[in-house]
Structure 1
Amino acid sequence: MSAGSRAPDGFHSPATPHRAAEPVRISSRDNPLLKDLRRLAREGTAYRRLGRLWLEGDHLCSAALNRGLRPAAAVFAESFWAHAPKQLAEAAPKVFLLPDALLAEASGLESPAPVGFLMDLPEQHSVQAGLASVVLDRLQDPGNVGSILRSASAFGFGQILALKGTVALWSPKVMRAGMGAHFALRLVEGLESEAVGDLGLPLLATSSHRGLWLHQAPLPWPCAWMMGHEGQGLGAGLDARADLHIRIAQPGGEESLNVAAAAAVCLHASAALKLSAQP
């Protein structure tokens, strides 16, 4: 997607790229910007208080740019600035240069990245009826949630509904695991289970012990797959709302699959049936 393309829902993006900004050097550990970056990198829900996202590393930064987004500010390590790619160096209206050691303090990575974008938090969405969706019920592991977002984006599901008790979708660990999938999806957080009724779609629940076998089930499209807590599964109220219960054949004999793996298998099955039905 080019710089003039429409940004994903909830984000604001200028129609044209910014001119290269004159960089501002920061050398104080007490600089307000650096304090905010440290909070955003270390606190999973700091983005809600600050209204900003901190994207670390060229992969996430490039993923945002490729979706037509523009950051509020770009932050570079001094050692990287001289050879930073033009796409990154000219992406933001404000550019800040930090000594490598200071920028490392604002990193949640084992190996700190030399570049990051500060972006405005997108507007909170309401549930969009009729849009193929994935419902997350109290999932706790950021890696699982990020992986599910990647699968949802890859297999044509446009919306994620995170019920209360689910890990914060824009937390740094979820964003890193999502690898840019966030920017392709409509994300709705903090919902009660009743919100799934607003989708107006068939609700599919995964189960390890009952329901139709996935490889034999007549999966509807569009639909909403519901994925439950890593240990407890779907809540009873949400499970009772399901129109179909689906289980995955495991001829190898494992008791159950990791929720992210199960989601990938189920979402791919839906996408495959959708594609096979097209002329």
Structure 2
Amino acid sequence: MTEPTFVTSRDNPLLKELRRLAQDNTAYRRAGRFWIEGDHLCSAALQRGLQPAVAVYAESLWTQLRGPLADVAGKKVVVSDALFKDISALESPASMGFVLDLPTDTTIAPQAATVILDRVQDAGNVGSILRSAGAFGFRQVLALKGTAALWSPKVLRAGMGAHFGLRLVEGLSLEDLQALTLPLVVTSSHQGELIQALELPQPCAWVMGHEGQGVGAELMARASVFVRIGQPGGEESLNVAAAAAICLHASSLRSSGG
């Protein structure tokens, strides 16, 4: 096992970078790598075969750490608990984190079951949708410009490890979506059949829109299928993450013959 480097200065260049990655939602775009924190996310990355560029440990954890999490990167750094807290953006820092390289393949897979995010802005919603996409077999998520940064710390935490099993492409324009050769399916409150009565296309691309404005008009015009989610309780609308879970689950039932 390689020995760690002990860093004691807050002004160390690596620690400055870690603070940016942990606390700035878009710093990963400039750095080409991102930060995850806590044993759950770190373990999820390892289970998907990802290799951290750097593993960082709070000193109190390092002195008692055993097993695979202790020897996962060629570069290991140990800092005091106070310095780790200074890096973290969490109220209760998790005592360990990884720096990982961003995926380099950002091409669109034309026939992959897909979720399209149209300016979904809440990080919690985006992370929840990524979890649903992974759970129900939609391995590609395409984010249009205006959507919350997919690899930001908040979305990573909300995604709970789903990122590591998905093809994620962000910053897209409507024109970029022409690379998809799948029918676009959109939920609508005023047109389309109820989701439970509709024969959904397989595979397809579900479009999830802005929390307040919904799917944009131009993208709506490109849709092949419109779906309504019945709401017998009488609520005006569903949270976009809840709607996505219902839609993706319905698609998974069709694809499995359920």
> TM (normalized to structure 2)?
0.98
Q: Which residue of 1 aligns with 2:67?
A: 86
Give the count of matched residue pairs. 258
Q: Which residue of 1 aligns with 2:193?
A: 212
2:34 partner letter: L
Residues 136-185 of structure 1 deviation map (CA, whole Å, 9 limit, x = unaligned): 00110000000000000000001000001111100000000000100100
Provide the rounded CA distance (Å) in 1 between the counterparts of 2:199 and 2:100: 42
Give SS of 1:169's match: coil
Distance 1:243 1:76, change over 3 A: same
Give SS of 1:109's match: coil
Q: Which residue of 2 aligns with 1:103?
A: 84
| 2:54 pairs with 1:36 | no
Q: Which residue of 1 aligns with 2:179?
A: 198
Q: Which residue of 2 aligns with 1:262?
A: 243
Say which of 249, 252, 255 aligns to 1:271.
Answer: 252
Provide the rounded CA distance (Å) in 2 between the counterparts of 1:127 and 1:29: 41
Provide the rounded CA distance (Å) in 2 between the counterparts of 1:267 and 1:108: 32
Greater Cα offset, 95-104 or 117-126: 117-126
Mapping 1:8-157, distance limit 5 Å: 20-157=1-138
Q: Which residue of 2 aligns with 1:228?
A: 209
Say which of 142, 146, 156 aligns to 1:161.
Answer: 142
Q: Which residue of 2 aligns with 1:14?
A: none
Residues 6-46 of structure 1 deviation map (CA, whole Å, 9 limit, x = unaligned): xxxxxxxxxxxxxx220110110101111011101111110
The runs of at least 4 aligned residues of structure 1 exceeding 6 Å deviation read: none
Say which of 168, 171, 191 aligns to 1:187.
Answer: 168
Provide the rounded CA distance (Å) in 2 between the counterparts of 1:188 and 1:118: 20
1:170 partner letter: W
Mapping 1:231-242, distance limit 5 Å: 231-242=212-223
RMSD: 0.9
> TM (normalized to structure 1)?
0.91
| 2:233 pairs with 1:249 | no
Distance 1:36 1:98, change over 3 A: same
Q: Which residue of 2 aligns with 1:8?
A: none
Deviation of the 1:194 alpha carbon: 2.3
Give SS of 1:74's match: strand
Q: Which residue of 2 aligns with 1:4?
A: none
Identity rate of aligned residues, in percent?
63
Q: Which residue of 2 aligns with 1:16?
A: none
